[in-house]
Copies of this chain bind each other. A is one copy, B any other.
Amino acid sequence: MTVLTRDITLQSQGDCDIIDITPQVSKIMEEAGIASGSVTLFVVGSTAGLTTIEHEPNLLSDFRNMWERVAPQSMAYEHNRAWGDGNGHSHVRASMLGPSLVVPFANRQLTLGTWQQIVFVDFDNRPRSRTIVLQIMGE
């Protein structure tokens, strides 16, 4: 049994930027040479999250619209009033979506569906450099 910890770093645009990180995850998995186990992904920071989605532009727009219904950017947030960051909506969305995702793999293949990509969702209101911790555990 082996534990490998790696970082994925990326530049995001903010404003609900949804980035397909499946290629980076797959590449690290191939290099790791571990047959079966699970990949744990974790967002460092409190204004972004992880999930899977069919990464096609219309659906990304629908996904953004859902978050705008649940936590509109333009409404009043106490966090904004206190800190002036303007990213209250980013924080509450990120906490609802969650920072962690665990994807099993077997025979060196992630168990994703054909139309299912691993995505990083940056809810913050500005472009940012981001780090996602990736941990592979398996044998």
How many of these chains are in the complex? 3
Q: Mark A67-103, 1 if CB is under 8 A from B, else 0.
A: 0011100000111011100001001101111111111
Taking CB atoms, residues of chain B closer than 8 Å to A111 are 42, 44, 133
B96 near A139: Cβ-Cβ < 8 Å? no
Q: Does A3 contact B (CB under 8 A)?
A: yes
For this complex, into which size category does the number of interface residues on chain A fall? 35 or more
Contact, CB under 8 Å: A100 / B99: no
Set of chain B residues within 8 Å of A70, measured between Cβ atoms: 66, 69-70
Interface contact A79-B104, CB-CB below 8 Å: no
Q: Which chain B residues border A58 with CB–CB below 8 Å?
A: 77-79, 81-83, 88
The answer to whether B104 touches A40, judged by C-beta atoms less than 8 angstroms apart, is yes
Contact A137 B88 (CB under 8 A): no
A54 touches B91 (CB 8 A): yes
- Chain B contacts for A83, CB-based, 8 A: 58
Q: Which of A118-137 contact B (CB under 8 A)?
A: 133, 135, 137
Query: Ordered nearest first, which 7 A-B pairs have the shortest CB separation?
Result: A58-B78, A1-B1, A45-B113, A104-B135, A111-B133, A46-B116, A58-B82
Binding site for B on A (CB under 8 A): 1, 3, 5, 36-38, 40, 42, 44-46, 51-54, 56, 58-59, 61-63, 66, 69-71, 77-79, 81-83, 88, 91-92, 94-104, 106, 111-113, 115-116, 133, 135, 137-139
